[in-house]
A and B are shown apart, each in its own frame.
Chain A
Amino acid sequence: MAGIMSRKDATLFIGFAAVVLLLPILAAPFGAAYPDLLQRFMIFGIFAIGFNILFGLTGYLSFGHAAFFGVGSYAAMWSFKLLSLNAIPAILFAVAIAGVFALVIGYLSLRRSGIYFSILTLAFAQMCYSLAYSVLTPITNGETGLRMIRADPRVLDRLFSEAPAGVPVPSLFGISLSGWNGFYFSALFLLATFFLAMRITNSPFGMMLKGIKSNQNRMNYTGFNTRPYALTAFVISGMLAGLAGSLLVVTDPLAGAERMQWTASGEVVLMTILGGVGTLVGPVIGAWLIKYFENIFSSFNDNVLSSFFGFLPDGAREAAVVVAGKFVGEGWHLSLGLLFVLIVVFLPGGIMEGVRRISSAIRRRGGGRHATARGELSPSAAE
């Protein structure tokens, strides 16, 4: 391993891989150890890492990344319907289609920067969303969403066998991908994505992207043509979004247009910010936290709350349940929004910056050394 990455990176990667693969055990105390949720952890981790390659490294804030996610979902679904229930061709197909979309949208959008870039990506994503809802209904099945049925042609599968009875389930060369198999399948992709992001960050290409983020003009003056690099980052990040979208179809075989809506694009921005923009692990942590709270908080209801506040006297308990009830269950977005505002105001570097601040504070007290280069501790977001 020493040949391809430094010792520090290898440790980080091995640690990350250990956490991911042991997640079914580690998440058990939090009540999150079931395959469906953990699979979402993996999928949105991939999505956030991909988004971070564009936003965190290159400094372009895209508000339309959900479009690639949605396109990936639809493409994978069509592969399941037309070609085969095998997940590999579906994923390849989805990544390729998402890549083509990203190439076109990125080529046009990257002609502008700053907020103009954000609005352009938003406009393209909203176009995809509106069209998927209305005119493209033959391809996307509109509001109902696209799902597999037994009567689909599936040409490749039919070469070898008759259509089996029952609901079709995506598989990997005959191994069904439901339950824990699906989780480990997605986990492998998350690890691969993480590895890729790590390699990009440390490569000359990654340095180029960071240069574009900190000062694109100077990069141009030095004689680099920055646009091809930014476009490459955009396409990679779009393809990873497509990969995540296709993996979501494997878990949840229904592709709908709402996955492309701009709120979905906003969600991946939140994940990245919450975890820490421009860091490797941050976006994954952000994605896990948001998906975890979405799942746990939104399942809280008044009964759970009133047993939680059981130690209070009656009147106070009811008041506490009413107030807390606004923040969980249906209202969990309120907590999410508040958390988000607090993070951006007080901790712009996200959770990773918090961790770094705490650890450097401990180190300072322990070793009596001065804090090392505070400047590099505050990752400034894109301008």
Chain B
Amino acid sequence: MFEVLFLQFLNGLDKGSAYALIALGLTLVFGTLGVVNFAHGALFMFGAFCAVLFRQLLTLETVTLDPEKLSPWGAPVEIRQPLVQAWFGDVGAVLVNYSVPLSLLLSIPVMLIIGIVMERGIIKHFYKRPHAEQILVTFGLAIVFGEIIKAVFGPNPIPQPMPTELRGAADIGAWLGMQPNVITYPLWRLVYFLFALGVIGSVLAFLQFTTFGMVVRAGMADRETVGALGINIDRRFTIMFGIAAVVAGMAGVMYTPLLPPSYTMGMDFLVISFVVVVVGGMGSLPGAIAAGFLLGILQSFASMHQLKAFFPGIDQVIIYLVAVVVLLVLPRGLMGRRGVMEA
């Protein structure tokens, strides 16, 4: 029984990581700019499509006709070769193999630009407007972003292969001194979890230990005083919006081998990650991270068939059920501050 529970716990970690990363970005935006960003799921989706785009660029092929051979029905045979492989040989093959982690490099500048343009272009004008209008305008943006992706990449999910070396499973049970081959866990999920921990750690460290982070935290606590001290807090907040977009984008890139990206994924994750943020408590970074992992793991437990025998359909509704219970019992979520976002 312990093994089963432990396995479900592990299975919840990767989803929990994705929730935590998206919720972290959402909370950063809310904490700094005070804006409720319903387009944040779309940023996650943009990240995922950075990986798709990167792979499509890498696998651009030259098609030449083989002068000697003919196919059985007499048509000339096509030879397809990725350009990268033609130019760089084996290095090119490695590049293609590792396209998903490598597209992080593409996603960082792209997401930073998207984030800053979005903030300067639209979000800026909504600081002083009511939260309902912020929700509405970003909801509209989310629709637009989803449709743009659909127009460019088509409506179907595009599977992204993970690097061949990371396809197997890790025998975590054996590492922990238990029986081998009882608790195995797909390597990529483990990579994703460690990656998420790394990103969360670096964002928190950045806020905690750099001067920039200190100014931002001061601005979150009292924006006007920081502004009065002669610091251009708006510019720093814009950069924070960019960073939140980068976090969402990187989360999306690395998630592509687990879930083939499609234009609906932004909306799918948005609903859940808003639930995560609200359960964690609006504006609380530790709350968002904790709630992300908590909900991911609970979702995983709920999909156990032993539990489903008692409560049919529990796996479908567990997240919303938890959200309802938490919100009704703890009005400000797990770690929310008093007076934030209460009408």
Interface string of A248-282 (1 = CB under 8 A from B): 00000000000000110010011001000000000
Report the minimum CB–CB distance from B318 to chain A (whole Å).
10
Give the residue of A117, A120, A334 whose beta carbon is less than 8 angstroms from that of B148: A334
Question: Do A127 and B341 form a contact, CB below 8 Å, given A119-B278, A337-B144?
Answer: no
B321 in contact with A383 (CB, 8 Å): no
Question: Do A120 and B324 form a contact, CB below 8 Å, given A216-B343, A383-B343?
Answer: yes
B130 in contact with A383 (CB, 8 Å): yes
B331 in contact with A122 (CB, 8 Å): no
Report the minimum CB–CB distance from A114 to chain B (whole Å).
4
**8 A Cβ contacts from A273-327 to B:** 273, 326
B267 in contact with A263 (CB, 8 Å): yes
Report the minimum CB–CB distance from B264 to chain A (whole Å).
9
The verdict on B275 contacting chain A, using a C-beta distance below 8 Å, is yes
Contacts of A345 in B (CB 8 A): 122, 125, 137
Whole-angstrom CA separation of A216 from B137 in the bound complex: 25
Report the minimum CB–CB distance from B162 to chain A (whole Å).
29
Whole-angstrom CA separation of A345 from B138 in the bound complex: 10
Contacts of B342 in A (CB 8 A): 112-114, 116
Interface string of B271-290 (1 = CB under 8 A from A): 10011001000100000000
Give the residue of B144, B271, B275, B319 whose beta carbon is less than 8 angstroms from that of A338: B144
Q: Besides A114-B342, A120-B327, A126-B320, 10 other CB < 8 A contacts?
A: A61-B132, A119-B327, A123-B275, A127-B324, A131-B316, A334-B143, A337-B146, A344-B140, A381-B133, A383-B131
Across the interface, name the chain B residue whose C-beta is closest to A348.
B133
Report the minimum CB–CB distance from B71 to chain A (whole Å).
33
Whole-angstrom CA separation of A133 from B139 in the bound complex: 25
How many B residues are at the interface, by size bracket?
35 or more
Question: Do A130 and B316 form a contact, CB below 8 Å, given A115-B278, A116-B342, A334-B147?
Answer: yes
B316 in contact with A135 (CB, 8 Å): yes
Report the minimum CB–CB distance from A149 to chain B (whole Å).
26
The verdict on A6 contacting chain B, using a C-beta distance below 8 Å, is no
A126 in contact with B271 (CB, 8 Å): yes
Give the residue of A130, A136, A216, A266 whose beta carbon is less than 8 angstroms from that of B139: A266
User: Is the contact region of chain B dominated by helix, strand, or loop, or is it mixed?
Assistant: helix
Across the interface, name the chain B residue whose C-beta is closest to A383.
B130
User: Is the contact region of chain A dominated by helix, strand, or loop, or is it mixed?
Assistant: helix
For this complex, 6 residue pairs linking A to B, each with C-beta atoms less than 8 Å apart, are A116-B278, A122-B274, A131-B313, A135-B312, A341-B140, A381-B133
Whole-angstrom CA separation of A269 from B140 in the bound complex: 11
Give the residue of B140, B313, B317 whose beta carbon is less than 8 angstroms from that of A337: B140
Interface string of A325-342 (1 = CB under 8 A from B): 010001101101110110
Whole-angstrom CA separation of A129 from B228 in the bound complex: 50
Report the minimum CB–CB distance from B36 to chain A (whole Å).
6
User: Which B residues contact A (CB, under 8 angstroms)?
Assistant: 36, 122, 125, 129-133, 135-137, 139-144, 146-148, 150-151, 155, 267, 271, 274-275, 278, 282, 312-313, 316-317, 319-321, 323-324, 327-328, 331, 341-343
The verdict on A103 contacting chain B, using a C-beta distance below 8 Å, is no
Whole-angstrom CA separation of A338 from B343 in the bound complex: 28
Contacts of B278 in A (CB 8 A): 115-116, 119
B135 in contact with A61 (CB, 8 Å): yes
B323 in contact with A130 (CB, 8 Å): no
Report the minimum CB–CB distance from B332 to chain A (whole Å).
8
A123 in contact with B324 (CB, 8 Å): yes
Contacts of B341 in A (CB 8 A): 114-116
Interface string of A94-131 (1 = CB under 8 A from B): 00000000000000100111111111101110110011
A115 in contact with B36 (CB, 8 Å): yes
The verdict on A11 contacting chain B, using a C-beta distance below 8 Å, is no
The verdict on A134 contacting chain B, using a C-beta distance below 8 Å, is yes
Question: Do A119 and B151 form a contact, CB below 8 Å, given A127-B317, A383-B343?
Answer: no
Greatest chain B CB density within 10 A among A119, A131, A134, A269 is at: A119
A336 in contact with B143 (CB, 8 Å): yes
Whole-angstrom CA separation of A337 from B131 in the bound complex: 19
Contacts of B316 in A (CB 8 A): 127, 130-131, 133-135
**8 A Cβ contacts from A326-381 to B:** 326, 330-331, 333-334, 336-338, 340-341, 344-345, 348, 380-381
Give the residue of B129, B313, B323 whose beta carbon is less than 8 angstroms from that of A123: B323
Across the interface, name the chain B residue whose C-beta is closest to A381.
B132
Report the minimum CB–CB distance from B308 to chain A (whole Å).
9
A118 in contact with B317 (CB, 8 Å): no
A119 in contact with B275 (CB, 8 Å): yes
Report the minimum CB–CB distance from A117 to chain B (whole Å).
8
Give the residue of B122, B144, B148, B313 whose beta carbon is less than 8 angstroms from that of A134: B313
Report the minimum CB–CB distance from A379 to chain B (whole Å).
11
Question: Do A341 and B323 form a contact, CB below 8 Å, given A115-B135, A123-B275, A382-B130?
Answer: no
Question: Do A131 and B140 form a contact, CB below 8 Å, given A113-B343, A383-B132?
Answer: no
Whole-angstrom CA separation of A262 from B143 in the bound complex: 13
Contacts of B274 in A (CB 8 A): 119, 122
Whole-angstrom CA separation of A341 from B125 in the bound complex: 12
Whole-angstrom CA separation of A136 from B316 in the bound complex: 12
A122 in contact with B135 (CB, 8 Å): no
B130 in contact with A380 (CB, 8 Å): yes
Contacts of B143 in A (CB 8 A): 333-334, 336-337, 340
Contacts of B317 in A (CB 8 A): 126-127, 130-131
Report the minimum CB–CB distance from A210 to chain B (whole Å).
15
